[in-house]
């Protein structure tokens, strides 16, 4: 079992990187947001999961142990392969994914490209008890109804779910609960972070 890997990034692909460690290059599949932040020459560290199949060995890397744990829970769901699990972790950050599972928010999972209603429901049914039973996940605070509307508005404007979540989390606590105001503040987040 390869539990972690560190080394120099030698190649960056669409959904994977090549990490060189002591003269050996390892092909590591990673979530797209992480892949997009890496450049050739970077020193990197990954929490990894080695997937052993009849015809292949696949190494998947994550920024945190928590993301790796969620990935393992996802691939444990019947019908969820490693590519779909990676797509889920590429579209939703760890906190949002946990929140969606705990609060049975299938509509959040359905925003993942290639993930339909039936598969979203299957994930919720399979993982809800497992995540709620793990005390180390901490308390999850669901988005308010207004913030769910802000999330929907931002994604309809073309922002990714991850970008929209970051903007909502950056809204100051004392901001009024009116949709128009919260949406304006969230849009301001993007202009400040260009």
15-19, 106-110, 155-159 — most confident range? 15-19
Q: What is the pLDDT of residues 156-184, one digit of tens each?
A: 788 877 777 778 878 888 888 888 888 88
> What is the distance between the alpha carbons of residues 181 and 27, in angstroms, rounded to a whole number?
45
pLDDT value at 140 more than 70: no
CA distance 183 to 95: 21
Is residue 80 within 8 Å of residue 94, measured between CB atoms? no
Give the mean pLDDT of 17-38: 94
What is the pLDDT, as a whole number, of residue 45? 95
* Confidence class for position 136, pLDDT limits 50, 70, 90: very low
Q: How far apart are the C-alpha atoms of 7 and 27, rounded to whole Å? A: 12
Q: Looking at the whole model, is its pTM more than 0.75?
A: no
């Amino acid at each position: 079992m390869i539990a972690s890997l560190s080394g120099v990034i030698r190649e960056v692909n669409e959904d994977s990187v090549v990490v060189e460690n002591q003269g050996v290059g390892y092909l590591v599949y990673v979530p797209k947001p992480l892949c997009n932040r890496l450049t050739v020459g970077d020193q990197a560290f990954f929490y990894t999961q080695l997937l052993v199949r009849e015809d292949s060995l696949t190494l998947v890397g994550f920024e945190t142990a928590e993301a790796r744990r969620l990935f393992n829970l996802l691939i444990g769901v019947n019908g969820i392969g490693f590519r779909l699990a990676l797509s889920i972790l590429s579209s939703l950050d760890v906190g949002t994914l946990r929140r969606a599972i705990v609060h049975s928010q299938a509509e959040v999972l359905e925003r993942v490209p290639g993930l339909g209603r039936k598969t979203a429901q299957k994930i919720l049914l399979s993982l809800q008890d497992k995540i709620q039973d793990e005390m180390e996940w901490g308390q999850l605070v669901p988005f308010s109804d207004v913030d769910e509307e802000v999330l929907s508005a931002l994604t309809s404007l073309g922002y990714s779910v991850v970008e929209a979540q970051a903007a909502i989390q950056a809204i100051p606590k004392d901001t009024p609960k009116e949709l128009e105001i919260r949406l304006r503040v969230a849009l301001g987040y993007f202009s400040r972070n260009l």
